[in-house]
């Protein structure tokens, strides 16, 4: 059973950077899956941030592309998110998730972390 666990600061200052890590257990990050970040502002819906493959290839949401960097550490079986120039609008629960390819395409989120709340303070 694949498990994902997010970690990182729960409070970030406005104009600073948000950095989170997702540790993967029960499976290899080098498997044939993409790994993703999704966020959810309090009381709102889900927004896809981007995805990364174990090779380091990435795809980002155009709405965040200028501020997002994702990286992968195959030796530690984990991947990371960095979001720059944060504002209050970036306050959200951040989830890491595994993407699965099936008859539903390759954008199927089949395993999720529990999520971590990041608050941007002014």
Q: Point out which residues bind other proteins (CB under 8 A).
A: 45-48, 51, 59, 61-63, 95, 97, 102-110, 112-115
What is the closest distance, in whole angstroms, from the C-beta atom of residue 9 to other proteins in the complex?
A: 20
DSSP labels for 58-101? EEE-TTTGGGEEEEEETTTTEEEEEE-S--GGG-EEEEEEEEEE
Closest to other proteins by CB, 16 or 59: 59
What is the β-pairing status of strands 92-102 and 34-40?
Answer: antiparallel
Q: Give whichever of 55 and 102 is closer to other proteins, judged by the CB atom.
A: 102
Least distance in angstroms from the C-beta of 26 to other proteins: 16
Return the structure tokens found at 77.
């079986």
Compare residues 16 and 115 and give the one whose CB is closer to other proteins. Answer: 115
97/118 with CB nearer other proteins: 97
Buried b (16+ CB within 10 A) or exposed e, 29-64: beeebbbbbbbeeeeeeeebbbbbbbeeebebeeeb
């Amino acid at each position: 059973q694949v498990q994902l666990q997010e970690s990182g600061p729960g409070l970030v200052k406005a104009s600073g950077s948000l950095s989170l890590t997702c540790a993967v257990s029960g499976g290899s990050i080098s498997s044939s899956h993409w790994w993703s970040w999704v966020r959810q502002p309090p009381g709102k819906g889900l927004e896809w941030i981007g995805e990364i493959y174990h090779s380091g290839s990435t795809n980002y949401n155009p709405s965040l592309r200028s501020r997002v960097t994702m990286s992968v550490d195959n030796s530690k079986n984990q991947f990371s998110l960095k979001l720059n120039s944060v504002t209050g609008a970036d306050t959200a629960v951040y989830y890491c998730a595994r993407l699965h390819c099936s008859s539903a395409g390759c954008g199927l989120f089949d395993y999720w972390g529990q999520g971590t709340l990041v608050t941007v303070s002014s």
